[in-house]
Amino acid sequence: MSSSTSHTEGEEPENGKKPQAKSTRRTFLISAGVGALTIGIGGKIGWEYLRRNVPALAENRAPSAKVPKEPFAWFTINADKTIIFHVPKIEMGQGIHTSLAQIAADELEADWNTFRVVQADTAHGFDSGTQFTFGSVSVASLYQPIREASATVRETLREEAARRLNTTKENIIAKNGAMELRADASKRLTYGELVAGKQGKWTLAKNAPLKSANNFTLIGKSVPRVDLRDKVTGRAVYGLDARLPNMLYGAVARPPRYGAKLKSAKAGEAATMSGVVKVVIENGFAGVVAERRSIARAAAARIQCEWEGGVTESQDVFDALTTVPTDKSNAIAIQEHGSASDNRTDKDVFAQYRTAIAVHAHLEPQAALADVRGDGKTIQSITITASTQTPDMVRTMVADALGVEKDSIVVKPTYAGGGFGRRLAHEVGVEAALLSRAVGRPVHVGWTREEEMRYGFYRPPTHHVLRGSVGANGRILAMEHEVSSGDVLLSFAGIAGGAIAGSVADAFGVDPGALIGALSEYDIPHHRVLSHRVKLPFLTASWRGLGLLPNIFARESFIDELAHLATKDPIQFRLDHLPDTELGKRYKQALKRVQEMSSWQTPPPTGRARGVAFCTQSHTVIAQVAEVSILNGRLKVHRVWAAVDPGMTVNPNGAVAQIQGAIVMGLSSVFHEKITFANGIASAKNFDNYPLLRLPDVPDIVVELITSSDVPHGMGEVGIGPIAAAVGNAVFSLTGKRMRELPFPLETLA
Amino acid sequence: MELRVNGKPYSVNYDPSEMLVWVLRDDFGLTGTKMGCGAGICGACTIHINGVPVRSCITPVSAAMGLEITTIEGLATILPDGSEKLHALQQAFIDEQVPQCAWCISGQIMTAAAFLKENPHPKPEDIDTALENNYCRCGCYVRIRAAVELAAKELETSA
């Protein structure tokens, strides 16, 4: 076990541990002059970044990372042998701090036991898109850049060691954080010694070679997570845990309807409550700063607010809005060949699927500690310590709200208690900043569960209409899938860029996020996928896997319907319809593997049945089989097998954890998760009305990884895709009842 | 007024109806106890009062006066040489690489610690029942099961 730990960088939240590096030490970072780095991108990261990368995302590729040209920006090499790795991505449970550190330390030939991981803040110099943590692309997009940067630093150090030892670099071996003379291991200089003793400026090594995979010592190994000791002892600091001396607590008045605007507000009795420091009413915002969190919340509820506008409708209206229209004039074909509508046989199926609105239910409510400093008239600096997936989005949103330049804002990301797409926007950072500005002291705002359920954004509702025909040869002749969904990625245009960017979003016509998983891999002669973009009056946006869960649930359940119509084995039916392309071969391999793992050919125990489904996301392929029974009218999922081909894997145990977790999250949607609106507001306020999957309902989950290349693809979301269909297909096999809604209509199984 | 947390006294001068979770976190800086729902449903805020697991988000300060509170920060043992010996559950959660985001983990461990004290030889289904009201959104459940089983074995051999 390594002694590496993971910390939040920089000026300490009071309870945060300082990184081991002291600024008084001479460090590589300083000597390399990282302060002079100019890192590109300004503007609205969420939107700009998405627009730049939408084609890549839609085509299921990892967007390219913009990383510092200065390789030293990644590291601080201390004289005491410790090396600090400044990691741009946010650790929200996916193990990314560990995986990226493995890549860096391996290529650098660092000593893992003295290698430390520190979360980079926005002042560190990373491109905003590189900090943006989303879409299962962290490893995929940074694997090569981190290796190149690390190799360059390694070779630069090798050249320096050669100079110091009066030899040539060919005679120097890089090993465990030191450069040693090949012929005499006692002639050895640690990286820290090389940096501390450096005279003059560094000249970067050119064309540094990358290690051969045969020589990997960390990449591909199940290295224990670097953050777990702090997490099992309660020391790890998250946004809700952030503290500063002299801090106060804030809370915000909320409307009775989603999206209602504050027309007017009077402080009323909120102002005179004991412990209230200030009631802040400005520009459509009403909040309280108080000495205690409970007082702030109680006072915020007592501000006399008059609200206007907002959502008034109930769920039936949104269900109707989401229903695939008979008028196809606004539909956009995202995949089409042959003529799906003209080719019908007597074996013809029509089916509709729906997915409910859901919340993210990350267990740490969104939270931020804002420290706005100024002289009372002008703002000099703003520091936001927060759990966020998009540090730069926090800067953008706070800059817009406070009317300041982004340059004055530093965001210090903490660990995040789950993200799942919710922490792509950051309203709480804006709220904390407005309140801190008003009182001239640091203010912490942490949302309640009720605020999370009612005032954030949602996984959109979806509706799917599918038609398919099976020919006399037992193969699918024609298939059409119409997807109707609320926005997923285009919403961020509105969040980050307001009305202008919103109209740009309208010009897109289709939301690539909503269509993740909608493109079909099957070889079908007449095939069409149509997109209907639904505009809903409440905000819907990213949720783990984006469109993957709803689209794969509909498509893979429907394929199962066609397989039954053709009286074919569901796995064989899929194999028969997969092309002999490179990707098609990977699908087949994963399907065959899961067939073996689940002993598919052997009948399940009496009273049980199995179902299969597969999908791809961020270029990773996964096939799953679920085994279910129904006991006393209750659905029980006994076991799930998953065969996953992510190309290659940096940390196999961590990859397996991602698949296990995604399957559980998908099952939670199968069993429970559903938000409904009544009179413009979500009915659920807390988990009593919106339960999550609990331990007794969790199956055994068996995961196998398939290595098919030397390039790592995404792991964070792909596992959520097939699970609902796999379970639904098993339920059909057992009962003859087809589950066509998420959550399943479980009462029909009783 | 005084509260005892992890063997140390803390003075309290707040409304005794204040919920313990916020006093521990905001006043004492013991942020290892997490807050997930504020309604006693998710279990992230679980602490021990006199060894009994309670939901600190719905337990007022007044209910803990004069009693021994233990939080996740007090679960490990500090050895004479100053080093930290983790509780068997904390070690098992690392050995099984359980946590993902870990926001629920303090509550999982505190709930399991009280359970194993009363049930040193649990059957797998007993573990499921003991932890059925502790949510894990990242879906670490399979590993939570394994870690509690491992810790039970560890506690048995070290007893």
Of A232, A249, A273, which one is at a domain's C-terminal end? A232
Q: Are residues A257 and A212 part of one domain?
A: no
For A247-264, what is the mean pLDDT?
97
Q: Which residues of B touch A232 (CB under 8 A)?
A: 72, 86, 90, 93-94, 99, 102, 105, 109
**CA-based nearest residue to B99, from A94, A686, A522:** A94
Looking at residues A192-220, what average pLDDT do you find?
94
Answer whether B94 touches A (CB < 8 Å).
Answer: yes
Mean pLDDT over A533-554 rounds to 96
Check pLDDT > 50 for residue A125.
Answer: yes
Residue where a domain stops, chosen among A232, A250, A265: A232
Q: Which of A277, A285, A280 is nearest to A254 (CA)?
A: A285
**Is A438 in the same domain as A496?**
no
| Partners of residue B106 in chain A, C-beta under 8 Å | 234
A293 touches chain B (CB under 8 A): yes
- Nearest-by-CA chain B residue for A241: B31
Question: Which of these, A742, A634, A749, A62, lies nearest to A353 by C-alpha position?
Answer: A742
- Is the pLDDT score of A495 beyond 70? no
List the single range of A330-334, A473-477, A478-482 with lowest mean pLDDT. A330-334
User: Tens digits of per-residue pLDDT, A320-356?
Assistant: 999 999 998 889 898 898 998 889 899 999 999 999 9
Task: Tell the residue number behind the tokens 């412990």, with chain if given.
Answer: A275
> At residue A352, what are phi and psi to the nearest 5 degrees?
-125, 140
A400 and A483: one domain? no
Asked whether A726 and A624 are in contact (CB, 8 A), the reply is: yes
- Tell me if chain B has a CB within 8 Å of the CB of A365: yes
Label each residue of B103-146 as H, E or C.
CCHHHHHHHHHHHHHHCCCCCHHHHHHHCCCCCCCCCCHHHHHH
Q: Using a CB–CB cutoff of 8 Å, tell me whether A604 touches chain B.
A: no
Q: Which of A92, A243, A664 sits opposite B101 (nearest CB)?
A: A92
Q: Closest chain B residue to A446 measured between Cα atoms?
A: B35
Residue A40 has pLDDT above 70, yes or no: no
The confidence score (pLDDT) of residue B16 equals 87
**Residue A322 near residue A461, CB atoms below 8 Å:** yes
Q: Does B135 touch chain A (CB under 8 A)?
A: yes
Mean per-residue pLDDT, A712-727: 97
Residues A223-253 have pLDDT tens digits of 999 999 999 999 999 999 999 999 999 999 9
Measured in angstroms, the CA of A91 and the nearest CA of chain B are apart by: 8
Number of C-beta neighbours around residue B38 at 10 A? 20
**According to the model, what pLDDT value does residue A619 have?**
92
pLDDT at A539 over 60: yes
Residues A711, A650 contacting (CB under 8 angstroms):
no
Residues A225 and A343 in one domain: no
Q: Which of A197, A232, A267 is the last residue of a domain?
A: A232
- In angstroms, how far is the first alpha carbon of chain A from the final one? 49
Q: A550-585 pLDDT, tens per residue?
A: 999 999 999 999 999 999 999 999 999 999 999 999
Q: Which of A232, A249, A665 sits opposite B99 (nearest CB)?
A: A232
Residue of B nearest to A292 (CA): B26
| Same domain, residue pair A554 and A651 | yes
Residue A750's pLDDT band, with cuts at 50, 70 and 90, is confident
Question: Does residue A14 belong to the interface with chain B, where contact is any CB pair within 8 Å?
Answer: yes
Q: Give the DSSP letter string of chain B.
A: -EEEETTEEEE--S-TTSBHHHIIIIIT--TTS--S-SSSSS-TTEEEETTEEEETTS-BGGGGTTSEEE-GGGTSEE-TTS-EEPPHHHHHHHHTT--SS-TTHHHHHHHHHHHHHH-SS--HHHHHHHTTT---TT--HHHHHHHHHHHHHHHHHH-
Per-residue model confidence (pLDDT) at position A73 = 86
Q: Which of A417, A446, A698 sits opposite B103 (nearest CB)?
A: A417
| Lowest mean pLDDT segment, chosen from A41-50, A279-288, A439-448 | A41-50
pLDDT tier, B33 (very low <50, low <70, confident <90, very high otherwise) = very high
- What percentage of chain A reaches a pLDDT higher than 70? 89
Position A401 in a domain: yes
Q: What mean pLDDT comes out for the span A376-391? A: 93
Least confident of A516-520, A577-581, B99-103: A516-520
Assess if residue A452 is contained within a domain.
no
Quick one: pLDDT band at residue B1, thresholds 50, 70, 90?
confident
Helix (H, G, I), strand (E, B) or coil at A309: coil
In a domain, residue A317? The reply is no
A21 shares a domain with A95: yes
Query: What are the pLDDT digits (tens) for A285-295?
Result: 999 999 999 99
Among A233, A686, A696, the residue with its CB nearest the CB of B39 is A686
Asked if residue A721 has pLDDT above 50, the reply is yes
Confidence of residue A20 (pLDDT cuts 50, 70, 90): very low
Mutate to test the interface with A, among B97, B111, B132 (most CBs of A within 10 A): B97
The domain that contains A160 carries what CATH number? 3.30.365.10
In the predicted structure, residue A692 carries a pLDDT above the cut 80: yes
Amino acid A72: pLDDT: 81
Pairing of strands A75-77, A83-87: antiparallel
- CA dist A428 and B10 (Å) reads 31
pLDDT of A493 reads 67
Mean pLDDT of B18-47: 98
**Cβ neighbours of residue A283 under 8 Å, at least 6 residues apart?**
none
User: Per this entry, what is the length of chain B?
Assistant: 159
Domain coverage including residue A521: 323-359+458-749
A389/A417 same-domain check: yes
Count of structural domains, chain A: 3
Strands, DSSP E only, in A548-697? 608-617, 620-631, 634-645, 677-678, 681-682
| Mean of pLDDT values over A691-700 | 98
Q: Where are the domains of chain B?
A: 2-74, 77-158
**A598 and A738 share a domain?**
yes
Nearest Cα of chain A lies from the Cα of B47 at a distance, in angstroms, of 12
Pairing mode, if any, of strands A462-470 and B84-85? unpaired
pLDDT, greater one: A738 or A509? A738
Collapsing DSSP states into helix, strand and coil, what is residue A367?
Answer: strand
A61 versus B14: which is more confidently predicted? B14
Q: What is the pLDDT of residue A490?
A: 84
CB of A155 within 8 A of CB of A148? no
Tokens 């049980």 found at: A608
On the question of pLDDT at A468 being above 50, the answer is yes
Task: Please identify among residues 39-78 of chain A the ones whose CB lies closer than 8 Å to any CB of chain B.
Answer: none
3-state secondary structure of A151: helix
State the pLDDT at residue A504: 59
CA distances from A541 to A360, A425, A458, A474, A490 (A): 10, 10, 6, 39, 8
Mean of pLDDT over chain B = 96
- Based on the fold, state whether residues A76 and A131 are members of the same structural domain: yes
CA distance B47 to B34: 10
Mean pLDDT of A432-452: 98
Q: Which chain B residues have a beta carbon less than 8 Å from that of A96?
A: none
A53 pLDDT more than 80: no
Q: Compute the C-alpha angle B39/B140/A661, nearest 5°.
A: 105
Calculate how close chain B gets to A591, using CA atoms only, in Å: 23
- Which residues in chain B are contacts of A240 at CB distance < 8 A? 25, 31, 34-35
CATH number for B2-74 (one of 3.10.20.30, 3.30.930.10, 1.20.140.10, 3.40.50.720): it is 3.10.20.30
Instruction: Give the CA diameter of chain A.
Output: 84
pLDDT mean over A471-479: 96
The DSSP bridge partners found for residue A352 are A465
pTM as predicted: 0.93
Do residues A204 and A150 make contact, with C-beta atoms less than 8 angstroms apart? no
Please give the angle made by the CA atoms of A402, A407 and A411, to the nearest 5 degrees. Answer: 80
Q: What is the mean pLDDT of chain A?
A: 90
Q: Quick one: how far is CA A320 from the chain centroid?
A: 30
Cβ atoms A611, A561 nearer than 8 A = no
CA closest to A696 among chain B residues: B128
Domain spanning B77-158: CATH 1.10.150.120: yes
Q: Are residues A177 and A161 in the same domain?
A: yes
Per-residue b or e along A572-604, where b marks 16 or more CB atoms closer than 10 Å to that residue's CB: ebbbbbbeeeeebebbbbbbebbbebbebeeeb
Which of A208-222, A352-366, A396-410, A560-574 is predicted least confidently?
Answer: A396-410
- Same structural domain, A104 and A219: yes
- What interface predicted TM-score (ipTM) does this complex get? 0.98
**Contact status, residue A441 vs residue A153, Cβ threshold 8 Å:** no
Residue of B nearest to A363 (CA): B36
Report if residue A33 sits inside a domain.
yes
